Amino acid sequence: MKCPFCYVPESKVIDSRPSDNGASIRRRRECVSCGRKFTTYERVEEIPIMVIKKDGSRQAFDRMKITNGIMRACEKRPVTMDQIEEKVNQVEAKVYNKLSKEISTTEIGEFVMDALKELDDVAYVRFASVYRQFKDLNSFLEELHGLLEKNEKK
């Protein structure tokens, strides 16, 4: 690390400790040339992920949108906030594990539906009915039949 005082590119670490609840590391350093001390912070570099919407526009990935969608689907269901948080974490991990800078809302919607299918059948159907925008009763019934067949196999 370059010294901010004499610009020599070498320094030694005197002390390291977690900062920002573990989100970064605070390091006290000492310049090997001039002996002055300074502080640096080390953080994980997060790649911003852009979500491609159905109309082609792009916006930054927002975890709260996933949380709100799952919470709406689980409203008045016997699902705890811890379970919802776990599913949001699963979806977010899948988004970041794609290792792509862009992802479509369709892919994110499928991730959410997979998570809800494991969590609660009613929440899954609620989310699917909005996400898939069923045009008629038959398309809705097809989805329900698929869900019933899955439950019979259990």
151 pLDDT above the threshold of 70: no
Confidence at 82, pLDDT banded by 50, 70, 90: very high
Question: Is the per-residue pLDDT at 67 higher than 80?
Answer: yes
- Are 91 and 116 within 8 A, CB to CB? no
At 129 the pLDDT is 80
Q: Nearest-CA neighbor of 6 among 25, 24, 29, 32? A: 32
pLDDT tops 70 at residue 154: no
The DSSP secondary structure of 93-120, one letter per residue, reads: HHHHHT--SEEEHHHHHHHHHHHHHHH-
Q: What is the percentage of the chain residues whose pLDDT exceeds 90?
A: 62
DSSP code string of 49-80: -EEE-TTS-EEE--HHHHHHHHHHHTTTSS--
Beta-carbon contacts of 24 under 8 Å, excluding residues fewer than 6 positions away, are: 18, 41, 42, 43
Express each pLDDT in 15-45 by its tens digit: 999 887 777 899 999 999 999 999 999 887 7
Q: Would you state the pLDDT for residue 63?
A: 92
For the residues 81-101, what does the mean pLDDT come to?
91
What is the rounded average pLDDT of the residues 81-105?
A: 92
Tell me, what's the pLDDT at 23? Answer: 73
Q: Does pTM top 0.85 for this prediction?
A: no
Amino acid identity at 62: D
124-142 pLDDT, tens digit per residue, is: 888 988 877 666 667 767 7
